[in-house]
Amino acid sequence: MSHHDVVVLGGGYAGLPAALRLARQVRDDEVSVTLVTAFPDFVERPRLHQVAAGQRIRAVPVADYLDGTAVRPVIGAATAIDPAARTVTVGRDGTRRFIHYDTLVYALGSNVDLAAVPGAARHAYGLVGTDAAAEVRTRLTALAGRTGRVAVCGGGMTGIEIAAEVAESQPGLDVVLVSGSAPGGWLSGRAQRHLARTFAALGVTVRTGRRVREVEHGALVLDQGDRVGFDLCLWAGGFRVPELARAGGLAVNDEGRALVDGTLRSVSHPDVYVIGDAAAVPGSWGAQLAMGCRTGGFTAPAAADAIAARLTGREAAPFHYRYFHECISLGRRHGLVQFLDADGSPKDRILTGRAAIAYKNATLNGAKLFFRHPGPVTARRRRVTASAAPARRLS
């Protein structure tokens, strides 16, 4: 068996633990694990609204998590994958390199979709990363002390969290949340009532039932042509996955999420595993898991174990998941934990207030603890078997 190269693309909630867990189960003289990721620091996306609101969130370098492991980091942006040649193109500082793989783990996540309506990319800010969150913080600081309006577009979890955080940190500003459907409309009745009370207490105004057609300089244009003026617009109208999977020829669904089997393997390319937001993972919940670190994080160990099993001559176990909770921060004094049935439907049971904030913090810190202890608890570095020769594309 020749040396086997595993390349993990994306060092986020799915890619980072997948690389770390796989490296614990194979011998590094037989299998190399390379993690390609765009930024030197781990981006804690679920805390970007806190960064935007002016809170200090300690950044942890990806290298810290890899220290003492056999995972080799490459900092750079993947710009293309070529499944036929089994290469990934990675760019950094104007240079370009090609990295070979035998097995690819595609974990490039998703990002705020600023292309959703005309003008959003130009006149609105999306929390697409640490730099964007810092830019929003600067803009909010400049507005503080004046009367001004912040329009938040999108009544999903991200829009709700941003609106609450901004309203709490800048009580002098008028925060309006504009959403086609009721914010948090998927939550239980109890949770929705709690959300409405909290928004009222924080001074967030909700304009619902109207979609944003366009974003202009200083104003949202709604579907019937009326306008909502703003001094700062924050776009949270949904996530979109990178185009690399589709462009590389992987089978994807209409949203561009890669189609995978029960072991997270691409249905078109058996040497490619797709995890996290980038994957459309089928199961008892339907055609795809909801995006989120609470879901995507669980695909990491399953993919790592499946790759290790196949390389070492064992059968890969199928991915199992059950929805359990959804944790929503509503500023630093309020929060909402919605407990879920296994299929993702909301239970009547919720947790609110500071207990919910503590619960959410514990969940996010737990994810980072998992990077330090990615398992398996009794990891055994087995030998690669001759039968683990790289698989070819399914025709």
Ligand X SMILES: Cc1cc2nc3c(=O)[nH]c(=O)nc-3n(C[C@H](O)[C@H](O)[C@H](O)COP(=O)(O)OP(=O)(O)OC[C@H]3O[C@@H](n4cnc5c(N)ncnc54)[C@H](O)[C@@H]3O)c2cc1C
Cα torsion angle, 119, 125, 127, 131, sign: positive
Amino acid at site 225: G
Contact segment (CB under 6 A) with ligand X among 217-225, 254-262, 272-280, 345-353 equals: 272-280
Residues 6 or more apart in contact with residue 59 via CB below 8 angstroms: 41, 42, 44, 130
Residue 158 engages ligand X in binding (rule: CB under 6 A): yes
When the beta carbons of 148 and 297 are compared against ligand X, the nearer one is 297
* Cα radius of gyration rounded to whole Å, the chain: 22
Q: How far is the CB of 38 from ligand X (least distance, A)?
A: 4
Helices (H), the chain: 15-23, 48-52, 62-66, 120-123, 130-143, 157-169, 189-202, 244-247, 293-311, 353-372
Residue 338 engages ligand X in binding (rule: CB under 6 A): no
**Which residue's CB atom is positioned nearest to ligand X?**
12
In the block, residue with structure tokens 């609110």:
352
When the beta carbons of 36 and 220 are compared against ligand X, the nearer one is 36
When the beta carbons of 279 and 384 are compared against ligand X, the nearer one is 279
- Hey, which residues between 217 and 256 contact ligand X (CB under 6 A)? 242
- Hey, which residues between 276 and 315 contact ligand X (CB under 6 A)? 276-278, 291-294, 296
For residues 204 to 223, the per-residue mask of contacts with ligand X, x marking binding by CB under 6 A and - elsewhere, is: --------------------
Work out the burial of residue 253: count CB atoms within 10 Å of its CB; fewer than 13 is exposed, 13-18 middle, 19 or more buried: middle
Number of C-beta neighbours around residue 318 at 10 A: 12
Task: For residue 210, give the nearest of 168, 124, 150, 151 by alpha carbon.
Answer: 151
Applying CB under 6 A, the site for ligand X has a residue count of 33
When the beta carbons of 57 and 394 are compared against ligand X, the nearer one is 57
Which of 102, 113, 161, 168 forms a contact with ligand X (CB under 6 A)?
A: 161
When the beta carbons of 109 and 119 are compared against ligand X, the nearer one is 109
Separation of alpha carbons 26 and 298, rounded Å = 20
Residue 335 engages ligand X in binding (rule: CB under 6 A): no
Separation of alpha carbons 97 and 99, rounded Å = 7
When the beta carbons of 13 and 370 are compared against ligand X, the nearer one is 13
When the beta carbons of 11 and 148 are compared against ligand X, the nearer one is 11
For residues 74 to 93, the per-residue mask of contacts with ligand X, x marking binding by CB under 6 A and - elsewhere, is: ---xx---------------
For residues 34 to 63, the per-residue mask of contacts with ligand X, x marking binding by CB under 6 A and - elsewhere, is: --xxxx---x-xx-xx--------------
Q: How far is the CB of 168 from ligand X (least distance, A)?
A: 15
Coil vs helix vs strand at 67: coil
Q: Where are the beta strands (DSSP E) in 41-106?
A: 71-75, 77-82, 87-92, 95-100, 103-106
Work out the burial of residue 249: count CB atoms within 10 Å of its CB; fewer than 13 is exposed, 13-18 middle, 19 or more buried: middle
When the beta carbons of 13 and 230 are compared against ligand X, the nearer one is 13
Give residues in contact with ligand X (CB under 6 A).
Answer: 10-15, 36-39, 43, 45-46, 48-49, 77-78, 107-109, 127, 158, 161, 242, 276-278, 291-294, 296, 327
